[in-house]
Structure 1
Amino acid sequence: MIKENLQQIKSQLPEKVTLVAVSKTKPIADIQEAYDAGQRVFGENKIQEMATKYEELPKDIQWHMIGHLQRNKVKYMAHFVDLIHGVDSFKTLLEIEKQAKKHNRVINCLLQARIAQEETKFGLEFSEIKAILDSEEFKQLTNIKVVGLMGMATFTDNTTQIKEEFTSLQNLYDELQPNNSHFTTLSMGMSGDYELAMECGSTMIRIGSSIFGARNYFV
């Protein structure tokens, strides 16, 4: 079933859109099944769970950290993580820089913008993102590369609101890209809204339940 779900989703995706299979709480066997079906990019929201899976699964998998980031745990993934989605403070960037340097790596990051109206959503204000990218301290960092932006829309059935939130992030991305040559990625859209996100310019979507089935919250 995982293979069929992947094929169905991928058949809808433009070439420029990367599919991140959100494998959080899912067993190794499910991830291996998706891998065998050709999927190579997987997203986790807990660093230690991702590190365990990294040890047990093929090494050509690209692991994305998509959850809220605890700075004190960055060290557990610094040697292998491919992209960190949810960077929502300059202090977090500094910690990623520090840990990446220890492993002689450059770690790709996305700055998480706050676009949702829900209090529970993390993220930087647009003005804070601009201030970080313009700061001299940021420009001195050598072991991180900010390759774009990430945002999560409000959890609502109001598609007009969701579209407005996605469009606001697309506009910010378009504004910043000319002066940020590494910008290649606009990560927005999940199982419930990825089609709308792609309409609004998303180049990376994060899909879990539509691939693997309902999440197991008791793992």
Structure 2
Amino acid sequence: MHDIKGHLHEVLASLPDGVRLVAVGKYHPCEDIMAAYDAGQRIFGENHVQELAKKQPVLPQDIEWHFIGHLQTNKVKYIASYISMIEAVDSLKLLREIDRQAAKHDRVVKVLLELHVAQEDTKYGLSLDACRNLLEEGSWRALQHVQICGLMTMASNVDDEEQIRSELMAAADFFDEVKEQYFGDSPEFCERSWGMSHDYPIAVECRSTIVRVGTTIFGERKY
């Protein structure tokens, strides 16, 4: 039996003040999420709308759900009524759809803009220039039901710690740039979500405020 409580507390103990943990329960049953919940965890992440839609109604309603996968615009309507944060917004089109669906529920949904800094084509996200262009274009400012709270990224899935550190520091430096230029008067723009099971200690060095950890807590996927 995988000691979810023990592994959760090990991860939490390793995080400095100001860094929050998203426990990623994808491909794990509700019982596993409840084990982490009973151990005190309240923020959970899922990658797939269909899986989240099955879990959310039957799990405690004070869970703060983060959607951390690639989100198609036609799926936003299924999570808009309860999602706390959508961490991987990679287009103005998606941003507008989140705003439209959140408005139907009279909610403001927090989002992070996803950057592509990894040297891997398989990763989603905006290039730094594309992110600059989106922010400079400015129409996001008129959206009343989304709040851009920061940036999210993933480093390359490699063993080279210096490469990981270089990529995540590029994201951290870019955060400073856009904070100063576009969000100087917005204290809500404060989140840097990077770091997963294999690299979150490096991510913390690179000024992450949110780490997304699954395998280390829950073990290998169950289904």
Q: Judge same fold: TM > 0.5, yes or no.
A: yes
Q: Map 1:171-210 to 2 at 5 A.
A: 171-178=173-180, 179-180=182-183, 181=186, 182-210=188-216
Say which of 165, 168, 171 aligns to 1:166: 168
Shift of 1:66: 0.5
Helix, strand or coil at the partner of 2:156: coil
Under a length normalisation based on structure 1, what TM-score does the superposition of the two structures give? Answer: 0.97
Helix, strand or coil at the partner of 2:14: coil
Say which of 138, 142, 146 aligns to 2:148: 146
Q: Map 1:47-66 to 2 at 5 A.
A: 47-66=49-68
Unaligned residue ranges in structure 1 (runs of 5+): none
Taking the aligned partners of 1:77 and 1:48, their CA distance within structure 2 comes to: 10
Taking the aligned partners of 1:129 and 1:106, their CA distance within structure 2 comes to: 21
In structure 2, what is the equivalent of residue 129 of structure 1?
Answer: 131
In structure 1, what is the equivalent of residue 88 of structure 2?
Answer: 86
Q: Which amino acid aligns with 2:207?
A: G
Helix, strand or coil at the partner of 2:220: coil
Q: Tell me the alpha carbon deviations over residues 50-96 of structure 1, each in whole angstroms, 9 at most, x when there is no partner.
A: 12211001100000000111111110000000010111111000110
Taking the aligned partners of 2:90 and 2:63, their CA distance within structure 1 comes to: 25
Shift of 1:137: 1.3
Q: Map 1:22-37 to 2 at 5 A.
A: 22-37=24-39
Under a length normalisation based on structure 2, what TM-score does the superposition of the two structures give? Answer: 0.95
Identity of aligned residues (%): 47
The worse-fitting range, judged by mean Cα deviation, of 172-181 and 205-214 is: 172-181
Shift of 1:135: 2.4
Q: Which amino acid aligns with 1:97?
A: D
Taking the aligned partners of 2:147 and 2:134, their CA distance within structure 1 comes to: 13
Taking the aligned partners of 1:119 and 1:202, their CA distance within structure 2 comes to: 23
Q: Map 1:42-121 to 2 at 5 A.
A: 42-121=44-123
Q: Which amino acid aligns with 1:214?
A: E
Q: Tell me the alpha carbon deviations over residues 122-168 of structure 1, each in whole angstroms, 9 at most, x when there is no partner.
A: 01011121222232311111100010000001111111111100000
The root-mean-square deviation of aligned C-alpha atoms, in Å, is 0.9
In structure 2, what is the equivalent of residue 214 of structure 1?
Answer: 220
Taking the aligned partners of 1:190 and 1:215, their CA distance within structure 2 comes to: 15
Unaligned residue ranges in structure 2 (runs of 5+): none
Q: Which amino acid aligns with 1:98?
A: R
Give aligned pairs, total.
Answer: 217
